Amino acid sequence: MSDRIRLENIAIVLHQPRFSENIGAAARAMRNMGIRRLRVVDPHMYDFERVQRMATHSAADVLRDMEIFDSLADALAECEYVVGTTARLGGQRVVNTPPRMVQQLIPISQENRIAFVFGREDRGLSNEDLRLCHSLVNIPTAEFSSLNMAQAVMVICYELFTATLAGKKTFVPRMANRFELDGMLTDLKDVLIKISYINPENPDYWMNHIRSFFTRIQLRAREVSIIRGLIRQVNWYGEKRYRDGLEEQKAADKTEECTRT
């Protein structure tokens, strides 16, 4: 069983949109997110030119295959699973968030056609429309919950699209193991004592914060070796300055001796 959603089995259904521009903007959002099946039910004052203008040329193929129906029941007839989208929470309804909904749809989408239904701009979906839905999804918002229809389409399509990426292998760098981390912390403790950053009387006490900080940030193996390189360089520089100081002192002593004799 695949762990990715099958976008070919997803259709977006716009129920009685009042503005042709919203159909075009929805088509464009769908095209951005790799979803191609658009169904429109009983659009109000339908104007294809206004649809096209918002869809832009890139979504021309979504518009070419777009289907227009007289009733919502007809638009959903061949779908095995229907998700209603709603700006309203409350009542008896169980309403999902988009990520949770998409996770539930991954197995269903393998063998079934799924429709997401969006309601008209002024009233949303009626109770009768919602009865055709198997489940409901709400996009969480601040107090003002009603999104523009095409923007709601975008949020849902984005969520669906990201679920196609879930199975892709992402590069995970190797984290430093405990041995590497402890080696680095010992080197760090030594150098911090040398430069008088921590008290040599009780270094472990002072190292506690540093230790938990470096453990918490989950260093990668490569980063640990960079920090150890830095510590080595600080040590080298300190020793060099010390040797140079001795040389200078020796030279100064010699000059003084010569001038005295």
Judged by the rule CB under 6 A, the positions of this chain that interact with ligand SAH are 85-88, 118-119, 121, 123-125, 138-139, 141, 145-147, 149, 152
DSSP secondary structure string, 135-201? EEE----SS-----HHHHHHHHHHHHHHHHHTTS----PPBPPHHHHHHHHHHHHHHHHHTTSS-TT
CB 137 to ligand SAH: min, Å: 6
**Side chain identity at 158, as an amino acid letter?**
Y
Establish how many alpha carbons lie within 13 A of residue 171's alpha carbon, considering only the half-sphere containing its beta carbon. Answer: 2
State the minimum distance, in angstroms, from the CB of residue 50 to ligand SAH: 18
Least distance to ligand SAH, CB of residue 203, Å: 56
Tokens linked to 255: 């000059």
Tokens 């080595």 — which residue? 232
Q: State whether residue 214 is helix, strand or coil.
A: helix
Q: Nearest approach, Cβ of 170 to ligand SAH (angstroms)?
A: 29
Residue number with the smallest Cβ distance to ligand SAH? 124
Comparing CB distances to ligand SAH, the nearer of 109 and 138 is 138
